Amino acid sequence: MKSIYLVGFMGSGKTSIATYLQSRLEWPVQDTDQMIEEHYQMNIPSIFKEKGEETFREYETNILHMTKQEKTIVATGGGIIEKEMNRKWLQTNGTVVFLQTSWEEIERRLMDDVSRPIWNNKSRDKQRLLEERLPKYLEVADYVIYTDGKSVEEIASEIISKI
């Protein structure tokens, strides 16, 4: 079976759902953000600060190609769908689940977040970014799961019933 790639905006719950799915499916988890940090020996805020977003996106593409394409749950970074090359790759190689979360819910969940460079960049309009990315998430998605008001368990069960 192909790996499951979880895509969605920052705060859509990709990491926590991946962890929970791991216990239900008994598949290993990979997290592209974590893999970037390990592979390039730098944390994500430092990559953005010292190398810039474009380099981060290059790293992200390289790491996407290193993910296991069978029986693995892969939590991806929210911007993985920015590059057309990545969208094509995901459509070809994975079962892609888009965790769709409303702007209001994302704002609520990330209210105290200080770890995400794009979220914490005051000059970026994050709501607009979500709107711009929406068609890209939909383009790659085999399945769309609405996450507002649902528990991690409910979302995981929905994913399992669909794949």
Q: Which residues bind ligand S3P (CB under 6 A)?
A: 10, 14, 33, 44, 77-79, 116-118
* Beta-bridge partners for 98: 7, 144
User: 97 near 161, Cβ under 8 Å?
Assistant: no
Output 78 or 94, the one with its CB closest to ligand S3P. 78
Output 117 or 157, the one with its CB closest to ligand S3P. 117
User: 138 near 148, Cβ under 8 Å?
Assistant: no
Q: How far is the CB of 162 from ligand S3P (least distance, A)?
A: 21
Q: Is 152 exposed, middle or buried (0-12, 13-18, 19+ CB in 10 A)?
A: middle
Output 25 or 36, the one with its CB closest to ligand S3P. 36
**77 labeled part of a ligand binding site:** no
The distance of Cα 126 from the centroid of its chain, to the nearest Å, equals 16
**79 labeled part of a ligand binding site:** no
Q: How far is the CB of 79 from ligand S3P (least distance, A)?
A: 3
**33 labeled part of a ligand binding site:** yes
b/e for 88-106, b at 16 or more Cβ within 10 A? ebbeebbbbbbbbbeeebb
**15 labeled part of a ligand binding site:** yes
Output 1 or 65, the one with its CB closest to ligand S3P. 65
Known binding positions: 11-16, 33, 57, 78, 116, 133
Known binding positions for ATP: 11-16, 116
